[in-house]
């Protein structure tokens, strides 16, 4: 079970502080990692990391994959995986751009876009739970399907979103709060709070953890495992649609290739944040902090004088080390 749900009942010879450390080990660990990486980059390039512009840039771009990472954490905690979210981003934004151009009604376009993302995500969950196909296979297949559909429908041609720049929708989703804080950062923070509440203060969160810890035991306890998985896949699809909107509005253009560069960043954020690939363990705080670590790596590497080609190597190393560490720690706990 997750560190956030470890029992805090006192045991002989253990102080409350020791129990607190054990309970919040994941959160403490990722915080130390974040501070350490920031210190390395700050020492290597103080002229970059002691100025406010770099942090405004992080707040502008990190939410594009960080929002998806937060909701993908729920999927991974259930013991499943979703690789289709980049394609759900683009098919949902195609719906938005098409409806906007056809009707000029931004509210209708927004609702249909979010419904598209939710439906695509729930479709993944339904195939996985009702047909019994592994989530890895299902989401690879739907990823190709949605991406291929967009290419067929658009012919590779994008759509300008400049008409939205003078609307309240633009300011609401990618404007600047107090002239400095990007609104996409505000949305990411709000989603993080909502995810945390769902996982730790709502029945759905208990069902998510129980499902990932042991699905058979969860069923015996009365948990509707299939329903739980369908819900979390739907939420992941919803978040992909929303992330696609803010990413497209930031550049005021919809590209059919939207989402192609976010798969590695998103997965790295989830696993670096302490979510176990085996399910049953994970924290929203860990994913939130890890998203900014991942977002800072590319800029940090370039700032300290290394080639940008190192970025993918480091992302891959992070995923491998995270999974290996979780496996070793899990065996010792058992």
Phi-psi sector, 178: left (phi>0), alpha (psi -120 to 50), beta: left
- For residues 57 and 211, the model is more confident at 211
The secondary structure of 84-105 as a DSSP string is -HHHHHHHHHHHHHHHHHHH--
- Does 304 fall in a domain? no
What is the per-residue pLDDT for 288?
95
Mean pLDDT of 16-41: 77
- Does 145 fall in a domain? yes
CA atoms within 13 A on the CB side of 46: 1
- Does 48 fall in a domain? no
Strands 181-182 and 253-254: unpaired
Report yes or no: 251 and 54 within 8 Å, Cβ to Cβ: no
Grade residue 8 by pLDDT with cuts at 50, 70 and 90: very low
Q: What is the DSSP letter of 2?
A: -
Domain count, the chain: 1
* Integer angstrom CA distances of residue 136 from 66, 143, 152, 170, 227: 21, 11, 24, 35, 19
Residue 101, pLDDT > 70, answer yes
- Does 53 fall in a domain? no
Provide the whole-model pTM.
Answer: 0.88
Dihedral, 301, 307, 312, 317 alpha carbons, nearest 10: -70
- Does 146 fall in a domain? yes
**269-290 pLDDT, tens per residue?**
998 888 888 888 889 999 999 9
Report yes or no: 277 and 162 within 8 Å, Cβ to Cβ: no
Q: How far apart are the first and last CA of the chain?
A: 12
Return all residues near 298 (Cβ < 8 A) that are at least 6 apart.
Answer: 308, 311
- Does 79 fall in a domain? yes
Residue 121, pLDDT > 80, answer yes
Domain that holds residue 95: 59-258
Q: What span, in angstroms and rounded, lies between the C-alpha atoms of 211 and 280?
A: 7
- Does 131 fall in a domain? yes
Q: What span, in angstroms and rounded, lies between the C-alpha atoms of 282 and 94?
A: 33
Task: Enumerate the β-bridge partners of residue 182.
Answer: 176
CA atoms within 13 A on the CB side of 242: 24
User: Which of 7-11, 163-167, 304-308 is the least confident region?
Assistant: 7-11
3-state secondary structure string across 163-214: HHCCCHHHHHHHCEECCCEEHHHHHHHHHHHHHHHHHHHCHHHHHHHHHHHC
Residue 74, pLDDT > 80, answer yes
**309-333 pLDDT, tens per residue?**
777 787 777 777 766 766 666 555 5
Residue 308, pLDDT > 90, answer no
* Integer angstrom CA distances of residue 49 from 45, 59, 229, 244: 6, 14, 41, 28
Residue 132, pLDDT > 90, answer yes
Report yes or no: 300 and 57 within 8 Å, Cβ to Cβ: no
- Does 283 fall in a domain? no
Tokens of residue 134, six digits:
């592994």
């Amino acid at each position: 079970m997750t560190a956030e749900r470890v029992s805090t009942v006192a045991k002989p010879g253990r102080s409350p502080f020791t129990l607190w450390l054990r309970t919040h080990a994941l959160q403490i660990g990722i915080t130390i990692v974040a501070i350490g990486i920031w210190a390395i980059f700050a020492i290597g390039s103080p002229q970059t990391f002691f100025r406010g512009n770099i942090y405004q840039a992080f707040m502008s771009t990190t939410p594009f994959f960080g929002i998806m990472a937060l909701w993908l954490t729920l999927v991974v905690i259930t013991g499943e995986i979703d690789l289709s979210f980049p394609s759900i981003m683009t098919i949902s934004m195609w719906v938005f751009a098409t409806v906007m151009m056809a009707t000029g009604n931004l509210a209708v376009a927004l609702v249909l876009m979010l419904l598209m993302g939710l439906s695509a995500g729930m479709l993944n969950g339904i195939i996985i739970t009702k047909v019994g196909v592994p989530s890895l296979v299902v989401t690879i297949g739907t990823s190709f399907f949605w991406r291929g559909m967009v290419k067929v429908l658009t012919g590779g041609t994008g759509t300008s979103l400049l008409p939205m720049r003078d609307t309240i929708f633009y300011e609401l989703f990618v404007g600047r709060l107090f002239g400095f804080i990007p609104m996409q950062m505000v949305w990411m923070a709000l989603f993080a709070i909502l995810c945390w509440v769902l996982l730790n203060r709502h029945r759905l969160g208990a069902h998510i953890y129980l499902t990932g810890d042991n699905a058979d035991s969860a069923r015996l306890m009365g948990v509707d495992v299939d329903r739980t998985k369908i819900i979390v896949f739907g939420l992941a699809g919803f978040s992909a649609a929303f992330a696609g909107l803010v990413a497209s509005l930031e550049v005021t253009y919809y590209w059919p290739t939207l989402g192609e560069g976010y798969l590695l960043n998103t997965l790295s954020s989830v696993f670096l944040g302490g979510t176990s690939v085996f399910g049953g363990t994970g924290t929203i705080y860990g994913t939130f902090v890890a998203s900014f670590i991942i977002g800072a790596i590319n800029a940090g590497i370039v700032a300290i004088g290394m080639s940008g080609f190192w970025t993918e190597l480091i992302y891959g190393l992070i995923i491998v080390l995270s999974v290996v560490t979780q496996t070793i720690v899990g065996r010792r706990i058992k």
